[in-house]
Amino acid sequence: MISHLNGYNRGGNLFTSSIITWLDMQTVLKDERSRIGFDVKKLKKFLYGADLENIEKAVKNLVEKLPVNPNIYNEGRVEMMKEAIRQMPHVLNSLTHTNSSPMIAMFLHSQFQSPGSVHYGMFIICLKLLGTDEMYEELIPKCSSGEIIGCYAQTEMGHGSDVQSLTTTATFDAKTDEIILNSPNIAAMKFWPGDLGVFANHAIVFAKLIVDGNEMGVHSFLLRIRDQNSKPLPGI
């Protein structure tokens, strides 16, 4: 296994088209990790909580018991997605009680390049960090059961992940007490939102809020994008 890298070496010199073998990479990683000034175990506990040991045990047990197709890595993208969907009930039943969305996301992604990883790794976390406590308490059971599968729609075709330059708008209509989300041009089209293509039925959409003609900055909005039959809703 080889990797083709472009970038800077530790001395600051630009190198291009360098071929680094897997063994060389391990040496580089070991060297770089020896330079860190923090405790990795403390960082893991900070990121995943004090229940980390129980979470890791749950993940290990799941890996050992889950009936995974041994040829899955030789399959195409569609088959990998189907396999991930077939396995999701097992994952939900085994890991949801650990209350660690990032850990579930990493497991799903590492096993299947899974469409469910964004749901756990970004969507649920955004609900917790950006939503109200009432919203989180109402929606998290549906997210955990799979009734709601969410994606993260920030990146735009013409603006990448430059959040301040996003041009999707969210205009408040005082007459109807509604917020109207709109992509005014092709550059504003949400691009690369994992799970949006066929899997998600809800999205957290980042857009510029406009109230009375005034821009109020970029905000996040929870939007249902598909019906109960997984068909896109009108206007999506």
- Detail the DSSP E strand segments found in the chain: 2-8, 14-21, 150-153, 169-173, 178-182, 202-211, 214-224
Kindly report the number of other CB atoms within 10 A of residue 220's CB atom. Answer: 19
Q: Which fold has domain 41-148?
A: Butyryl-Coa Dehydrogenase, subunit A; domain 1 (1.10.540)
Domain layout of the chain by residue ranges: 2-33, 41-148, 152-224
The CATH class, in words, for 152-224 is mainly beta
Per-residue pLDDT averaged across 139-152, rounded? 85
Which has the closest alpha carbon to 192: 181, 203, 184? 203
DSSP 96: G
Helix (H, G, I), strand (E, B) or coil at 219: strand
The pLDDT of residue 94 is 61
Displacement of CA 211 from its chain's centroid (Å): 29
pLDDT digits (tens, 9 = 90+) for 168-214: 999 999 999 999 999 999 999 988 777 777 778 999 999 999 999 99
Is 217 buried (19+), middle (13-18) or exposed (0-12) by CB count in 10 A? exposed
Is the pLDDT reported for residue 216 higher than 90?
A: yes
CA angle 161, 173, 231 (to 5 degrees): 60
Q: How far is CA 225 from CA 51, 133, 213, in A?
A: 34, 23, 26
